[in-house]
């Protein structure tokens, strides 16, 4: 069994400008808004599968095309070349610690725009892999009520300091922590237990700062785990999802939908 995939059918692209950047944004659905930030190498078929699942569960989904070719399937060469390009792009500052990444200004503007156009109390933001931490940085804006960090991998974890880094600046994290303490903001983080790209130390930092407001979903990918999940498993909500009752990735995706519904329903 493989992860659910989809093509661009029904998705409408429109250029959006915010924070000094312009990107096409693919939109679909009705209901409360969710910004779905793609993972490397871009809006690939499994990202669209996740987007369609959210639409089917009653959300308006906006997917910004930050890199890659929308709809193109993943190949090793495509993923590697995209990663090489984004790692040296100022918009993402892939290696920097305690960094306010320029792309997050664009995402906050997009979240505000989506909030104005959709029902509900606010919007959700899902970041994945390279963009995982961007979801929490977007929650600096009051429009964001439900950030979801799936396998957050920036800054790229080459040193102990990078592994401990929360993936956003101290100023941004302070604002988010204040919102968690005083406004009831909550976030979800997801990772596989053996995933070095989304290090456990990063989740430890976020848990220490956000406390009970940060819900951690860690899926066992150690050798001999009961579901046969590879120790190389990485993409919790896309490539690794198996639509089988009792499978931990299926349960994790269900919990994300439940979280978004709880936080955003009018």
Question: 186-213, pLDDT tens digit by residue?
Answer: 999 999 999 999 999 999 999 999 999 9
Q: Where are the beta strands (DSSP E) in 37-95?
A: 60-64
Domain that holds residue 114: 12-264
What pLDDT score was predicted for residue 202? 98
Residue 266 has pLDDT above 90, yes or no: no
Residue 107 has pLDDT above 90, yes or no: yes
Decide if 7 is inside a domain.
no
Decide if 52 is inside a domain.
yes
What pLDDT score was predicted for residue 36? 98
Residue 76 has pLDDT above 90, yes or no: yes
| pLDDT tier for residue 1 given thresholds of 50, 70 and 90 | confident
As a residue count, the chain comes to: 266
Tokens describing residue 137: 């940085």
The CA radius of gyration of the chain, in Å to the nearest whole number, is: 17
User: Is residue 94 within 8 Å of residue 132, measured between CB atoms?
Assistant: no
3-state secondary structure of 230: coil
Q: What percent of the chain has pLDDT over 90?
A: 96
> Quick one: average pLDDT of 3-25?
97
Decide if 4 is inside a domain.
no
- Report pLDDT digits (tens) over 128-164: 999 999 999 999 999 999 999 999 999 999 999 999 9
User: Is residue 175 within 8 Å of residue 138, measured between CB atoms?
Assistant: no
- Report pLDDT digits (tens) over 37-64: 999 999 999 999 999 999 999 999 999 9
**Bridge partners (DSSP) listed for residue 217:** 190
Decide if 108 is inside a domain.
yes
Q: Domains in the chain: how many in total?
A: 1
Which helix or strand (DSSP H or E) is residue 260 part of? helix 248-264
What pLDDT score was predicted for residue 77? 97
What pLDDT score was predicted for residue 199? 97
What pLDDT score was predicted for residue 186? 98
Half-sphere exposure of 121 (CA within 13 A, CB side): 10
> Quick one: average pLDDT of 244-249?
97
Q: Model's pTM, two decimal places?
A: 0.97
Residue 138 belongs to domain with CATH number? 3.40.50.1820
What pLDDT score was predicted for residue 138? 98
Decide if 215 is inside a domain.
yes
Decide if 2 is inside a domain.
no
């Amino acid at each position: 069994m493989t992860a659910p995939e989809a093509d661009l059918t029904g998705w409408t692209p429109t250029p959006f400008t915010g924070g000094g950047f312009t990107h096409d944004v693919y939109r679909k659905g009705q209901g409360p808004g969710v910004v779905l930030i793609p993972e490397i190498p871009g809006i690939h078929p499994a990202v669209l599968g996740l987007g369609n699942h959210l639409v089917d569960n009653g959300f308006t989904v906006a997917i910004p095309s930050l890199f890659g070719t929308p709809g193109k399937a993943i190949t090793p060469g495509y993923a590697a070349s995209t990663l090489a390009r984004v790692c040296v792009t100022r918009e993402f500052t892939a290696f920097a610690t305690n960094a306010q990444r320029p792309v997050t200004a664009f995402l906050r503007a997009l979240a505000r725009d989506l909030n104005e156009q959709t029902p509900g109390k606010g919007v959700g933001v899902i970041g994945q892999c390279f963009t995982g931490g961007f979801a929490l940085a977007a929650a600096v804006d009051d429009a964001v009520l439900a950030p979801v960090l799936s396998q957050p991998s920036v800054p790229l974890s080459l040193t102990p300091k990078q592994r401990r880094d929360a993936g956003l600046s101290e100023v941004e994290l302070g604002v988010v922590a204040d919102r968690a303490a005083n406004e009831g903001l909550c976030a979800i983080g997801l990772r596989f237990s053996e995933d070095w790209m989304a290090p456990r130390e990063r989740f430890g930092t976020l848990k220490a700062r956000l406390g009970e407001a940060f819900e951690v979903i860690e899926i066992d990918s150690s050798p001999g785990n009961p579901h046969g999940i590879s120790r190389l498993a990485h993409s919790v909500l896309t490539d690794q999802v198996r639509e089988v009752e009792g499978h931990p990735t299926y349960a994790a995706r269900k919990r994300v939908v439940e979280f978004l519904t709880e936080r955003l329903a009018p």
